[in-house]
Structure formats: structure tokens, C-alpha cells
Structure 1
């Protein structure tokens, strides 16, 4: 049964003037995982993409130590 209360929608407010999917992904990940420390983490995190999306995750892990703690608790597929 889906847990609809856990669903999130974000209006992307990147400072980048043109469309940038990687910047949008980074913004959403930061807002989702760092804004609410008490939020329930998902059981699984599905990253549907390629090298660019993986690079965004790698950048976040290097820039934000808090992401390492979060991602250690989540299964990636």
C-alpha cells in the first residue's frame, strides 16, 4: 500500500537561469534530506539515470558530510 503522506513535490528554485536537470536533482536532494532532520527516510532510493546523476550524488557526498550518514542508512538500487 503506498504511503502517500511520504510523497513530496518541489518547485525548483535553482539560481540557474536555464533548465539544468542535474542542478534540479541536487536542489531536491538537499531540500528533501537536509531540511527536515526528523523526516522519515525512505526504505529504498531509486536513482534512475546515468553517469550525470551518479556524479550529483558523489558531489553531495563530498560537499555535505550529513549526506554520508543519510545514505549509509538507505538501500540504493
Structure 2
């Protein structure tokens, strides 16, 4: 899958891939989705602080080779 220049830069800065399993989603508002997930390795590298966020790469739903990124703010 292709992540383009941003993916290459992030990898160069030491970003790692983690396997995430979505356990629940809730539409909080028309453009806000709460996503609950489990990911055993994500928090090894991340301190959850008020401004913490994660970048996710999703495969093309049409089966193409490009991945699309979305950022999510963390909350406990």
C-alpha cells in the first residue's frame, strides 16, 4: 500500500505501525465519531496527554493501492 511522501517522512522520523482492532463506534455529532479500540502495542510509545492524537492509515475501500490517513484525538 502506498502512503506517499508523508508516509515516508513519518517512517524516517521513527513512526511504527501497530495493529488496531475497533471494538465500538458511536456518532457523537454529524462530523464526530467516537472510536473505541484495542491495540496492545500502541501505548508502549505514547503518553496520553490532553493534546495526544494518533494518525491512522486506512486502505482504499475501492481496492486501490493508496492508503488514506485520518487523525484522531485521544481521550480516556
Higher helix share: 1
TM norm. shorter chain > 0.5: no
Higher strand share: 2
Q: Which has the higher contact order (CA 8 A, sep 6+)?
A: 1
Give the structure-1-normalised TM-score. Answer: 0.30
Give the structure-2-normalised TM-score. Answer: 0.30
